[in-house]
């Protein structure tokens, strides 16, 4: 079983990437499923006029290519209907587990806005995937509605990323009782309370205490309406003392949060990702003077007027 390079866990680095299907996943180029091709990771998706995701996936799992497939990308499973969770996809994958012996990475929800806005994606309890693939290293999901980890434990999982317009507090709390001893990378999109993002800084405390995830190197608390509060809570949390990368990108991070981040002190921290922010130029300059690799870039299309301060994805 090949180890996924740590750098390959960041699948949606910048705001414009949210609106396009991933080109690479877990270090591999991604192509739409084509039974005549090999050597790439396939993306299985239904289209607005044809619901062929599960049949494609089943056909693939019966083919010889499945035996060496390192990753699977699942796209849109609910073309017109906003009420369907991916239960059939999860059932197909778990039923076909024996055909996917090399699978180390799953993206459940490479669904772009034009197909289904993030807050309209219906998710599910994804822990059956953890149970079915004991060698999994990387699980990425998109969509907060219905997302759950009923049984949050896995021995080899190295990266967990949950993109959402809002993550429910109960989901964050389920991580506090989780058992992921090898987790190196944790990316959570907190979102806004308009779209089910109910987690508060208090719900994050168990993560920030440093008592969980002994191998964690990257923490992403992204797309957060409460980015300023998150920044204030993170600067002096025990976990920071062993993190390498702190990612507060895509949220409503303003001068208040930036002031807090100026006090960052960590022997291990190498990189601070603040891409897509509402910080003044002056403070950006001071952050960039920190002895870290600081990314305070903004997409060219970003609206900085105060009345429109909003997370990158809340829809």
Partner 1 sequence: MSPWGNNLTLLGNPENRRITEFAREMSERGLAPPRCVSYLDFLRDPSCLAGDLVRIDSPGENEEVASELAGARLQPGQIGRLREYHAGFCALLQRVEARCLNAPRDIATMFDKWACHERFVQAGLPRPRSEIARDPFTRPAGRVFLKPLHGSSASGVCALRWNHRRVELTAPIELAPDGLFNSLRVRSYTKRAEVERILGELLPQGMIVEQWIPKLTLPGGAVDLRVLVIAGRARHRVVRQSRHPMTNLHLGNRRGDEGELRSALGEERFERALELAERAAACFPDSLYAGVDILIDTAGRSLIGEINAFGDLLPGLVHEGETPYGAILGACLDPSRPV
Q: Using CB under 8 A as the criterion, which residues of the chain lie in contact with partner 1 when the complex forms?
A: 16, 19-20, 47-49, 80-83, 112-117, 120, 122, 194, 301, 315
Tell me which residue of 169, 219, 213 sits closest to 191, measured CA to CA.
Answer: 169
Q: Provide the minimum distance between the beta carbon of 78 and partner 1 in the complex, in angstroms, as a whole number.
A: 9
| Helix (DSSP H) and strand (DSSP E) numbers for the chain | 8, 12
Beta carbon nearer to partner 1, 36 or 301:
301
Beta carbon nearer to partner 1, 48 or 280:
48
Asked if 139 and 161 touch (Cβ cutoff 8 Å), the reply is yes
Question: What per-residue string of b and e applies to 243-255 under the rule 16 or more CB within 10 Å gives b?
Answer: bebbbbbbbbbbe
Q: Provide the minimum distance between the beta carbon of 213 and partner 1 in the complex, in angstroms, as a whole number.
A: 33
Beta carbon nearer to partner 1, 81 or 282:
81
> Following CA atoms 166, 168, 174, 176 in sequence, which dihedral angle do they give, to the nearest 10 degrees?
70
Beta carbon nearer to partner 1, 6 or 120:
120
Q: Provide the minimum distance between the beta carbon of 119 and partner 1 in the complex, in angstroms, as a whole number.
A: 8
Rounded to whole angstroms, the Cα distance separating 140 from 128 reads 14
Q: Provide the minimum distance between the beta carbon of 34 and partner 1 in the complex, in angstroms, as a whole number.
A: 13
Beta carbon nearer to partner 1, 122 or 266:
122
Asked if 107 and 75 touch (Cβ cutoff 8 Å), the reply is no
As given in the structure block, the two tokens for residue 271 are 């990189």
Q: Provide the minimum distance between the beta carbon of 10 and partner 1 in the complex, in angstroms, as a whole number.
A: 18
């Amino acid at each position: 079983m090949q180890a996924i390079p740590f750098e390959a866990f960041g699948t949606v680095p910048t705001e414009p990437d949210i609106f396009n299907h991933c080109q690479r996943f877990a270090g591999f180029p991604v192509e739409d499923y084509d039974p005549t091709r090999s050597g790439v990771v396939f993306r299985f998706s239904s289209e607005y006029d044809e619901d062929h995701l599960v049949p494609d996936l089943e056909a693939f799992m019966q083919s010889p290519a499945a035996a060496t497939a390192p990753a699977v990308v699942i796209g849109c499973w609910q073309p017109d209907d906003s009420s369907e969770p991916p239960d059939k996809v999860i059932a197909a994958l778990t039923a076909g587990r024996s055909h996917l012996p090399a699978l180390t990475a799953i993206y459940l929800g490479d669904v772009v806005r034009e197909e289904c806005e993030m807050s309209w994606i219906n998710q599910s309890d994804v822990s059956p995937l953890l149970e079915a693939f004991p060698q999994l290293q990387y699980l990425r999901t998109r969509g907060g509605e219905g997302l759950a980890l009923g049984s949050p434990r896995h021995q080899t999982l190295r990266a967990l990323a949950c993109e959402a317009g809002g993550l429910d507090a109960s989901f964050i709390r389920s991580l506090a009782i989780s058992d992921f001893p090898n987790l190196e990378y944790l990316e959570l999109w907190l979102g806004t309370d308009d779209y089910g993002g109910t987690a508060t800084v208090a719900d994050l405390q168990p993560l920030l205490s440093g008592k969980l995830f002994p191998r964690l190197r990257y923490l992403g608390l992204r797309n957060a309406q409460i980015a300023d509060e998150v920044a204030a809570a993170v600067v002096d949390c025990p976990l920071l003392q062993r993190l390498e990368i702190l990612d507060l990108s895509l949220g409503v991070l303003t001068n208040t949060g930036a002031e807090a981040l100026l006090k960052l002190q960590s022997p291990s921290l190498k990189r601070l990702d603040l891409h897509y922010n509402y910080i003044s130029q002056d403070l950006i300059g001071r952050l960039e003077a920190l002895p870290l690799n600081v990314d305070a870039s903004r997409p060219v299309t970003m609206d900085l007027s105060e009345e429109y301060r909003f997370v990158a994805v809340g829809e």
